[in-house]
Amino acid sequence: MPAERLTRKGAAPAPGIVHLGPGAFFRAFNAIYTEEAMAASGGDWGIVAVSLRSAGPRDQLAPQGCAYTAVELGPEGAKPRVIGSICRCLVAPEDPEAVLAAMADPAVRIVSMTITEKGYCHNPATGRLNPSHPDIVHDLAGPGWPVSAPGYLVEALARRRAAGLAPFTVLTCDNLPSNGRLARDIVLDFARARDAGLAEWIAAEGRFPATMVDRITPATTEADIAALEAAEGYRDAAMVAHEPFRQWVIEDDFVGGARPAWERAGAQMVGSVEAHELMKLRCLNGTHSTLAYLGYLAGHETIAETVAAPGFARLCERLWEEEILPTVPQPEGEDLPAYAVALLERYRNPAIRHRTWQIAMDGSQKLPQRILGTVADDLAAGRVPEGLCLGVAGWMRYVGGVDEKGAAIDVRDPLAGRLKAASDGAETAEGKVAALLGFAEVFPSALAGDARFRDAVTRAYAGLLAEGAAQAVVEVAGR
């Protein structure tokens, strides 16, 4: 007999938050913090989870009353826990009006988001809204029927203003540097293109706190769902599996001070998040992406497998010690070398099957803040960061779309087609590297024009072609 599906016990909380992007990370992170904050100190902070594209999250969550299981995978085995902080689930393309109504509801005080880098519709090199992005063009032409996050935020804010309500706080939870300022800039750029008065009101009354978010959460697989079913006797299509570690650093700047007591769940409420953000993006995400490209090319499926292979863990240590930590300012209350050591332990967690292919996605949107800023700082200090340049070369080799055995790589990236064409259009390592350095959305011109950088990436790329990623990593790690 098939197992019964998980269902909610008891009533859902009343809504106080709308969240855009109800994927695995949100369920393993924001929804848990909010659940714990409500348990510790009350408040109506139920979450209306809105998917901007796919119906998948709603189809998984709604039949379960929006309850789902979060499984912590640590050294003592799997610890499942049912989370009930999501009160409703919407699919924006099916009913934009319902989404806008939820965002304009006076009870809703926060709109949070995990929409990934590309959801901001910005130009990564300038950090401003990309006015020729097709979704932005669409949303400016018909603001009442939006498709993009900026389009939804601004239309809902306009409705609140018209109704005499305060704006909601926009709480970005994506891995982008100065993410609060970025969210503010794209919202104001969009609002200005619609109505200068609206933009002024948002600028004066709105709040866009920056955050640093951290918890490794691989995409859920059918095997995860089957393992939970075998252990607990129920089926949960909306489950997520995550590592034990979590860290949320939040700039404490909310409209009217209205927010859940997330500090009761361990969030750090601080005056400025920037140093924490830089630490996390450069130390964690920078090595994660490096491991993803080089690990994938070397034939490894997961990060745990990759760091167990010769040279990779040592490469990470060298990256932190010699290339990354010297560029990271000291965040309050953090011990940077200890932070790096702990990262390697997190990567080694064998229960977390985080695919290199998953992390390799959207590299054109990730590289600038994860790796290239660090490289630029190293060069400015007179260091040539060979390890990070190998990571960049790994990305270039990966977006060429053919692996070391000659098989096609399923490259997921908004620029995938153009990247492959640029790579295919050149014959030699020099030519391919030069063609890819020409992507101004990815490489700032000062960096692309720096001969030390170009030469190091070209050498690394030629090494990847000549001897393969596994050997190239061993060599750079042992140098």
Q: Residue of minimal CB distance from ligand CS2?
A: 288
Residue nearer to ligand CS2 on the CB measure, 355 or 454: 355
Q: Collapsing DSSP states into helix, strand and coil, what is residue 77? A: strand
How many residues are listed for the chain in this entry?
Answer: 479
In the chain, the amino acid numbered 8 is: R
Q: Could you say which DSSP state residue 80 is in?
A: E
Q: Collapsing DSSP states into helix, strand and coil, what is residue 205? A: helix
Residue nearer to ligand CS2 on the CB measure, 26 or 453: 26
Residue nearer to ligand CS2 on the CB measure, 175 or 268: 175
Task: Tell me the closest approach of the beta carbon of residue 409 to ligand CS2, in angstroms.
Answer: 16
Task: Tell me the closest approach of the beta carbon of residue 359 to ligand CS2, in angstroms.
Answer: 4
Residue nearer to ligand CS2 on the CB measure, 60 or 287: 287
Residue nearer to ligand CS2 on the CB measure, 169 or 175: 175
| Block residue for tokens 């960061």 | 385
Task: Tell me the closest approach of the beta carbon of residue 248 to ligand CS2, in angstroms.
Answer: 10
| Block residue for tokens 């008891």 | 10
Torsion from C-alpha of 327, 333, 336, 341, nearest 10 degrees:
-150
Task: Tell me the closest approach of the beta carbon of residue 106 to ligand CS2, in angstroms.
Answer: 33
Torsion from C-alpha of 23, 29, 30, 33, nearest 10 degrees:
150
Residue nearer to ligand CS2 on the CB measure, 64 or 285: 285
Nearest partner of 358 among 420, 415, 302, 297, judged by Cα: 302
Q: What is the C-alpha to C-alpha distance for residues 6 and 65, in angstroms, rounded to an integer?
A: 9
Q: Answer yes or no: are the C-beta atoms of 236 and 64 closer than 8 Å.
A: yes
When computed from its CA atoms, the radius of gyration of the chain, rounded to whole angstroms, is 22
Q: Answer yes or no: are the C-beta atoms of 157 and 187 closer than 8 Å.
A: yes
Task: Tell me the closest approach of the beta carbon of residue 245 to ligand CS2, in angstroms.
Answer: 9
Residue nearer to ligand CS2 on the CB measure, 34 or 211: 211
Task: Tell me the closest approach of the beta carbon of residue 65 to ligand CS2, in angstroms.
Answer: 28
Q: Which two tokens stand for residue 270?
A: 């601080």
Q: What is the C-alpha to C-alpha distance for residues 110 and 169, in angstroms, rounded to an integer?
A: 5
Q: What is the C-alpha to C-alpha distance for residues 250 and 32, in angstroms, rounded to an integer?
A: 15
Helices 386-399 and 469-478, interaxial angle, to 10°?
170
> What is the binding site for ligand CS2 (CB under 6 A)?
175, 214-216, 284-285, 288, 358-359
First and final C-alpha spacing in the chain = 58
Task: Tell me the closest approach of the beta carbon of residue 211 to ligand CS2, in angstroms.
Answer: 12
Q: Which two tokens stand for residue 274?
A: 């920037």
Residue nearer to ligand CS2 on the CB measure, 109 or 215: 215
Task: Tell me the closest approach of the beta carbon of residue 134 to ligand CS2, in angstroms.
Answer: 24
